[in-house]
């Protein structure tokens, strides 16, 4: 099995896998509103393939915390239903986080199960001073620093970036 950057050829398989995993109600969730009309980062949109078959996917999306601190929103992370328990999600997480760090990203946030994501360094404690623009189960709102101390003094609402805000935040970092 290989991890590669997602291409247009993978799109239909990825969308089916995500729909099967999260159902039609996924679009009403707060994190989907943050993704609406925002493209995932192409270099951090990964798929795991087994031959020609897509067996897992992971995407990262640009967000801003408090209007000025750049961060990544992780998700969805999905392994094909018939391939769960084979380490696909773990391999995608490790590779995705390593690539994000190598690209200079400093903070990653997500909504997910802490028992699963804590093994990758995500904690509820790091997300306590952050807010999402809609309802979310606070126990599932997690964050991770890719650079030690990156979240020191960081707080506020997580929002969609616009091009000018992203450019200004990146230049200021």
This prediction has a pTM of: 0.88
State the pLDDT at residue 144: 98
Q: For domain 2-172, give the fold.
A: Aminopeptidase (3.40.630)
DSSP per residue, the chain: -EEEE--GGGHHHHHHHHHHHH-GGGGGSHHHHHHTT-PPPGGG-EEEEETTEEEEEEEEEEEEETTTEEEEEEEEEEE-GGGTTSSHHHHHHHHHHHHHHHTT--EEEEES-HHHHGGGT-BSGGGTTEE-SS---GGGEEEEESSTTTTTT--EEEE---HHHHHHHHHH-
For 12-47, write each residue's pLDDT tens digit: 888 888 777 666 675 557 676 788 888 899 999 999
Q: For the chain, what are the domain ranges?
A: 2-172
For 88-115, write each residue's pLDDT tens digit: 999 999 999 999 999 999 999 999 999 9
């Amino acid at each position: 099995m290989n991890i590669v950057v997602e291409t247009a050829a993978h799109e239909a398989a990825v969308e089916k896998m995500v729909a099967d995993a999260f159902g039609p109600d996924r679009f009403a969730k707060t994190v989907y509103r943050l993704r609406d009309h925002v493209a995932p980062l192409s270099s951090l949109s990964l798929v795991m393939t087994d031959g020609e078959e897509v067996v897992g996917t992971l995407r990262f999306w640009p967000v801003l915390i408090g209007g000025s601190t750049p961060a990544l929103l992780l998700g969805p992370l999905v392994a094909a239903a018939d391939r769960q328990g084979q380490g696909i999600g773990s391999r995608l997480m490790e590779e995705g986080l390593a690539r994000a760090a190598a690209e200079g990203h400093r903070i990653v946030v997500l909504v997910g199960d802490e028992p699963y994501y804590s093994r990758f360094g995500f904690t509820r404690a790091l997300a306590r001073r952050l807010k999402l623009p809609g309802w979310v189960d606070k126990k599932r709102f997690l964050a991770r620093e890719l650079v030690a101390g990156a979240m020191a003094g960081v707080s506020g609402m997580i929002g969609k970036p616009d091009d000018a805000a992203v450019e200004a935040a990146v230049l200021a970092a």
